[in-house]
Amino acid sequence: MIYFRSRGAVFGECWFDDDSPNASSHVDVLALRQVSSPVPASHCTPILTLVSELTPNADELLAGFDRNCRRNISQADRRDGLSMEFTGRPGAQIGAFRDFYNEFAKQKNLRPADGAWLQAACDADRFAIATVWQGREPLVRHGYITGGKTILLHCSASLFRNGDQEHRALIARANRWLHWRSMLYFVEHGATHYDWGGVFEDESTPERVGINRFKREFGGQPVRRFDCLVARSARGHLRLGLKRLGDGWRYFGARAATVRLRPSRAVAPAKAALPETPRSADA
């Protein structure tokens, strides 16, 4: 179990159905991540993800990728001079990983990494880092939730240090190559499934479409899972109540941001009627 503190409450976090919570643990909120069915009396969020089956036969695994993905991996193997570093206990490297991810997040306008959670996951031996290097330059880093038969891609980061198309193509090949090599590593260590950490059900932006398309290249199957939060103390009930309130405000704020105010109609002078302002589609 991963223990961490969030806004005054102590969380105990378990991943997947085979990670049983410790009944004697003193936590305010029990977080059951990526479970197969909703947990009664919990704050539950449905998640759509992709899961790749990790077959022991490397050729069969590669054959499940689409043609573009296989071509990129082959090119990376032949000409890019890449090497992979895998760290199963990255406590000493977690600061470098966090900084790398935060620089990526700044480029993409994403939230920075939660340093306290990363450290807690390392302390629980549930976090691993895979890095693809070209010479002395790290090109892509992946962070994984480990510890069971299913491996979950928790976060991924790559840095586009310039707008050069050749460099971007290198990063794209290196990213696919790192997923492939990580899968092979996990197969050797007994894993059976590779969870892609979720896909967007709302493909309303080109970036979301691109992320989903990239993950689907590896042939994973869609799976519905659930993140469930269970209050186990008065402080836990308060913390989840505040979360529900915050979620509600964010939902209505997002809805309000999509509504365009209809322009007010001018009062036309007599015998000079103005044409009616057309309504927008989402007014």
**150-203 confidence digits (pLDDT tens):** 999 999 999 876 668 899 999 999 999 999 999 999 999 999 999 999 999 999
Instruction: Tell me, rounded to whole angstroms, the distance of Cα 124 from its chain centroid.
Output: 20
User: What is Dmax (Cα atoms) for the chain?
Assistant: 83
DSSP 221-272: EEEEEEEEEEE-SHHHHHHHHHHHHHHHHHHHHHHHHTPPPPPPPPPPPTT-
pLDDT of residue 244: 74
Structural domains of the chain, ranges and CATH numbers in brackets: 2-46+229-247 (no CATH), 49-223 (3.40.630.30)
Residue 98: pLDDT over 50: yes
- Cα(87)–Cα(128) distance, rounded to whole angstroms? 6
Helix ranges (DSSP H) in the chain: 58-63, 67-79, 94-108, 115-123, 165-188, 206-216, 234-257
Q: Mean pLDDT, to the nearest integer, of 82-105?
A: 94
Tokens describing residue 24: 């004697």
**pTM of this prediction?**
0.83
Which of 63, 116, 70 shows the shortest CA–CA distance to 94? 116
Taking a C-beta distance cutoff of 8 angstroms, is the pair 166, 207 a contact? no
Confidence grade of residue 21 (pLDDT, cut at 50, 70, 90): confident
